[in-house]
Amino acid sequence: MKKLLYMTIMFLMASCAEFLDERPNKNIVVPETLDELQALLDASPRGMNTSPAVHQISSDDFVTTDNGFAGFRSVIEQNAYTWNQEIFQDSGGDWSSPYLQIFYANIVLDGLDNYNAINQEEEERKRLIEARAKFYRGFAYYSLAICFADHPDNPQNTSIKLGLPLKLTPDINEVITRTDLSQTFERIIQDLEAGIQDLPDNYDFMTRPSKRAAYAMLSRVNLYLKEYQISLDYADLALDINDDLLDYNEVQTASLFSFNLENPEIIFYNEMLTYSWGASTLSFVNPEIYDMYAEDDLRKRVFFRNRGFGNNFLGNYTGGIRMFTGLANNEIMLNRAESLARLGEESLAVEQLNSLLEKRFEQGTFEGIDLTGTNSVLELILKERRKELIFRGIRWADLKRLNTEPALAQTLRRVIMGEEYILEPNSPRYVLPIPPQEINQSGIEQNLR
């Protein structure tokens, strides 16, 4: 009856503002508080820790059979595998997923702008969330850049290169155009560097960025840009905080997937978008790489399982079927070794390599890397990089970078249904086409390939 009376009074007064302010759905909020904004960044299940996969399909880490090719669930996979001119039919997660991360990060940054911290503690938390949001945005732009933009040094293409549309606000109606490639990389580095001082040294949850992750990511980006000294500096900073390695002698190979998520090497968690090829038992490691491992190299057992028709890769640092594309100490050590070698510090480079490989060989069998028969320390390091960082979503960027140096350039070949496909070094097909939905809706320029 009280409610009735209340309603009647409300009614008569026609002052219904409060009555109508009730949220219509209890599960839905307008994200405003710091907790709510942080919760948006923690949305790994919605793709905050997901990277593209289509370049991995195009790279030379894996091969498949005609049946495996026919069994690909999506035409995108078939197109990417044969370096077809067109890849996407309408939309593509490889393009939209990083942009979703950018959208979330921009919502958070916009929300922080409108948030008034009430005390010092809140002010610090606000800065931390801002640093994290920028890290995710920088990470996402880099994932896009290695797929959808050319390498800045591609000698076949000397014109001003197209970068990415850079979205820096959550306004979905904002008109965008493609920027210069240099602007794109400036933005990536700026976003990654911006909040370093506000990030904690180590992660609290591996899906969240830390100072170590920002350094590691900057090492990765600068290596790609061939800024070896900067890459080295950032690798040192990252490894100064933590340079733990997992001894592969301790890895159980009895279970289907070799690794657990609890892995001291992991700096920042990221996984690759799943396509059907990743779960197919007919997706095999490129035999060229498989043959490169020495007999007492534990990786041969830890990474692969023979399926009769070939070797499947089961060594994901995610501990499951998804491929790990995050940052881990082994990658940073290899960045460091390569940078050192390129800067002429060959003995330091070998030292770094040895400290990594010691944990990869059967206990007591590794006696330092054998330099005989190799042309250069660099070549050796690149070979080890190939063996160590397989199926990590890194190879495509490496191919693009190394192809800019004639001595290291590689031609890729594949045969499917009797037809041979060839990908020349520095080919425009190293730049993936943007999904048609984007071209149709925003009218941005398509990549020519």
Partner 1 sequence: MYSNQFIKQLLSCILLLLSMQQIKAQSTYPVTGKVSTVNKEPIPGAMVILKGSSRGVVTDEEGVFVLNLSAGEAILRVSYLGYATIDQAISVPISEPIQIELKEEGLSMETFEIVSTGYEELPKERATGSFAQVDNELLNRRVSTNLLDRLEDVTPGLVFNRTGGGDPISIRGRSTISANANPLIVIDNFPYDGPLESINPNDVESITVLRDAAAASIWGARAGNGVIVITTKKGLAGTKPRFSFNTNTNFIEAPDLFYVPRMEISDFIDVEKSLFDRGFYQSREVSIDRQTLSPGVELMIQLRDGRISQAEYEERLAALQSFDTRSELAMHFYQPQINQQHAASLSGGTVTHQYVVSLGYDNNRSNIIGNKNDRITLSTQNTWNLANDRLKLNLGVYYAQRNNIETTKLPDLFPYDRLADDGGNALPVIQGLSQRYIQGLDNPFLLDWTFVPLEEIGMRNDRRQNTDLRANIALQYKVSQDLKVDVQYQYWQNATNNREIIPQETFEVRDLINRFTQMESDRQLTRAIPLGGIYNKSDVFAQSHTLRAQLTYNKSIGKHQVSGLGGGELKDWASDTDRIRYYGYSERFANSENVDYFTRFRTFHNNRLANIPYGGGHSGSIDRFVSAFANASYTYNKKYILSASARNDASNLFGVRANQRTVPLWSTGLAWILSEEGFYNWSAVPYLKLRATYGFNGNIDRTVTAFTTASALQGNFNPVSRLPFAQVNNPPNENLRWEKIEMTNLGLDFESKSGRVSGSIEYFIKNGIDLFGTIPMAPSSGVSTYRGNFASAKTQGFDMILRGKIIQSAIRWDASLIYNHVKDRVTGYETQAAVSSYLAFAGGSDLIFPLEGRPLFSIYSYPWGGLDPDNGNPLGLLNGEPSDNYAAIFNEATPESIIYNGPARPTSVGTISNNISYKGFSLSANITYRFGHVFRRSSILYNSLFNGDLGHEDYGNRWRNPGDELVTQVPSMPLALNANRDNMYRYSEILVERGDHIRLQDIRVSYLFDDIRGFNRLELYAFVNNIGLLWKHSDLPIDPDFRSMRPLRSFAFGLKIDL
Quick check: 319 binds partner 1 (CB under 8 A)? yes
Quick check: 428 binds partner 1 (CB under 8 A)? no
Answer for which of 62, 81, 83, 103 binds partner 1 (CB under 8 A) is: 103
Which region among 51-59, 181-189, 203-211, 242-250 touches partner 1 (by CB under 8 A)? Answer: 203-211
Cβ(48)–Cβ(101) under 8 Å? Answer: yes
Q: What is the C-alpha separation between 242 and 212, in angstroms, rounded? A: 8
Quick check: 25 binds partner 1 (CB under 8 A)? yes
Residues 36-65 that bind partner 1 (CB under 8 A): 36, 39-40, 42-46, 49
Cβ(55)–Cβ(148) under 8 Å? Answer: no
Cβ(316)–Cβ(322) under 8 Å? Answer: yes
| DSSP-assigned beta bridge partners for residue 244 | none
Q: Name the residue nearer to partner 1 (CB basis): 107 or 408.
A: 107
Number of neighbours of residue 346 by Cβ within 10 angstroms: 18
Quickly tell me which residue has 């959808």 as its tokens: 148
Task: Give the interface size with partner 1 as a residue count (CB under 8 A).
Answer: 84
Answer for which of 22, 250, 370, 420 binds partner 1 (CB under 8 A) is: 22
The two three-digit tokens of residue 95, written as one number: 């393009």
Query: Which DSSP letter does residue 48 get?
Result: T
Burial of 276 from C-beta contacts in 10 A (0-12 / 13-18 / 19+): middle
Residues 286-315 that bind partner 1 (CB under 8 A): 307-309
Cβ(362)–Cβ(249) under 8 Å? Answer: yes
Which region among 121-129, 164-172, 399-407, 420-428 touches partner 1 (by CB under 8 A)? Answer: 164-172
Which region among 8-16, 183-191, 398-406, 407-415 touches partner 1 (by CB under 8 A)? Answer: 8-16
Q: Name the residue nearer to partner 1 (CB basis): 16 or 415.
A: 16
Residues 228-257 that bind partner 1 (CB under 8 A): 255-257
Q: What is the C-alpha separation between 243 and 138, in angstroms, rounded? A: 24
Cβ(430)–Cβ(403) under 8 Å? Answer: yes
The two three-digit tokens of residue 26, written as one number: 């209890």
Answer for which of 122, 123, 124, 174 binds partner 1 (CB under 8 A) is: 174
Answer for which of 10, 371, 415, 448 binds partner 1 (CB under 8 A) is: 10
Quick check: 24 binds partner 1 (CB under 8 A)? yes
Residue type at position 421? Y
Quick check: 102 binds partner 1 (CB under 8 A)? yes
Answer for which of 157, 179, 207, 242 binds partner 1 (CB under 8 A) is: 207
Answer for which of 71, 186, 236, 274 binds partner 1 (CB under 8 A) is: 71
